[in-house]
Amino acid sequence: MKMTLRWFGSKHDTVTLGQIRQIPGCVGVITTLYDTKPGEVWSREAIRAMKEEIEAAGLELSGIESVNIHDDIKIGLPTREQYIANYIETLENLGKEGIDLVCYNFMPVFDWTRSDLAKERSDGSTVLSYDQELIDKIDPTKMFEELDANSGGFVLPGWEPDRLARVKELFEMYKEIDEEKLFQNLVYFLKAIMPTCEKYGIKMAIHMDDPAWSVFGLPRIVNNKGNIQRLLDAVPVMNNGLTLCTGSLGSSPHNDIPDMIRSFKGRIHFGHVRNVIHLAPGKFDEAAHLSSDGSLDMFEIMKAFHDIGMTGPIRPDHGRMIWGEKAMPGYGLYDRALGATYLLGLWEAIEKSAKK
Ligand code: DNO
């Protein structure tokens, strides 16, 4: 396992590479070309510049999160052919620069969804939270404005204004897309890109749907053990793999995460590790990483990663906002650094006990 942190680039992030470098045991960052739009070809030069900037700070570029997928691919429009060709070109350019991990998601219209980006807890920290009752009252086409108003001025990953300018139109386009169609479109996309991934050794790591159930009637296909296994079986090569996100899966108490980690051995290329507190069905708060602060057992989760011989990057996912920090919701330095250190501590204990 390699401990990493997500970084949004010097233009967008309040956290610097120098700060990340000082987190003990953190060897790399996960990032993206934040100014590109889904469907665009990434140039080799831009990829190289990003990589060089990170390496100059003494870190490695451990993977890309995300190369986003154009909605025409998800919907299965004839225009998907061009967007798939562009995606392949981007993968080739990444491969030529030695980058071998690409995280992506296949959620329609919205990426992750929350009802509150700064819910205050009793200790004064704030967290992201989700309440289905509140979401049900929101007009989905207004969702972006709601989130933007409470994002503290930061451009949230997955909620970029350009992408969301077309929200109404997108809802219309997804009308005919049910879970089966979305699944088939994902398989079509994966089959088309796999030869390139195999040639360059690129591991595609699909992110789980967050939350793990349908929101605004949009289909969800990467949300439980059966659905994920079906996807792995449909394109049965190592390069078709997962970003195992404990917080996304953990939004549903029905997901047994350590069991899923063990079952997907060999296909988990990237781990997002965080904790959630289940408040009621369809209602949860994010929490500190520590097991006792939430509903997930982080020891069991890290132990499962250890048992499957996880060698890929893991990053502490969303943290609380603490100590007065002003940063992108979920992505401040302080609580993620605490999370990284805690997860590394668990790992050391698990590793040493296993050797005894
Ligand atoms: C949210 C993130 C997601 C994730 C994408 C991957 O904080 O976990 O936005 O990066 O779903 O494509």
Question: DSSP assignment of 55-120, as one string?
Answer: HHTT-EEEEEE--PPPHHHHHT-TTHHHHHHHHHHHHHHHHHTT--EEEE---SS-SS--SEEEEE
Instruction: Say if ligand 1 is within 6 A of residue 274 CB.
Output: no
pLDDT recorded at residue 250 = 98
- What pLDDT band is residue 320 in, cutting at 50, 70 and 90? very high
Instruction: Say if ligand 1 is within 6 A of residue 207 CB.
Output: yes
Report whether 222 contacts 206 (CB < 8 A): yes
Strand partners, 28: 4, 60
Summarised one tens digit per residue, pLDDT across range 119-137 is: 999 999 999 999 999 999 9
Q: Measure the CA angle with vertex 316, ends 158 and 313; round to 5°.
A: 90
Q: Examine the pLDDT at 159 and tell me if it is beyond 80.
A: no
148 is catalytic: no
The closest of 133, 128, 135, 48 to 327, measured between CA atoms, is 128
Summarised one tens digit per residue, pLDDT across range 210-263 is: 999 999 999 999 999 999 999 999 999 999 999 999 999 999 999 999 999 999
- What pLDDT band is residue 40 in, cutting at 50, 70 and 90? very high
The structure tokens 């139109």 sit at 169
197 is catalytic: no
Omega prior to 211 cis, within 30 of 0: yes
Instruction: Say if ligand 1 is within 6 A of residue 331 CB.
Output: no
Atom of ligand 1 nearest to the CA of 318: 7
Q: Examine the pLDDT at 351 and tell me if it is beyond 90.
A: yes
Its domain, for residue 168, covers 2-355
Phi, psi of 316 (to 5 degrees): -65, 125
Distance CA 68, CA 208 (A): 14
DSSP-derived letter for residue 274 is -
Q: Strand order in 126-131's β-sheet?
A: 116-120, 126-131, 283-286, 276-280
Structure tokens at 63: 């993977």
- β-pairing, 60-65 vs 2-6, is unpaired
Q: Examine the pLDDT at 161 and tell me if it is beyond 90.
A: no
289 is catalytic: no
Instruction: Say if ligand 1 is within 6 A of residue 105 CB.
Output: yes
pLDDT recorded at residue 92 = 98
Say which CATH number the domain at 127 has. 3.20.20.150
In the predicted model, what is the mean pLDDT of residues 25-33?
98
| Given 71, 272, 285, 334, the catalytic residue | 272
User: What is the number of structural domains in the chain?
Assistant: 1
- What pLDDT band is residue 152 in, cutting at 50, 70 and 90? confident
The closest of 69, 125, 30, 113 to 317, measured between CA atoms, is 30
pLDDT recorded at residue 150 = 75
Q: Examine the pLDDT at 155 and tell me if it is beyond 80.
A: no
How far, in Å, from the CA of 210 to the mean position of ligand 1?
8
pLDDT recorded at residue 160 = 74
- What pLDDT band is residue 154 in, cutting at 50, 70 and 90? confident
Residue 267: in which H helix or E strand, if any? none
- β-pairing, 268-273 vs 283-286, is unpaired
Q: Examine the pLDDT at 164 and tell me if it is beyond 80.
A: no
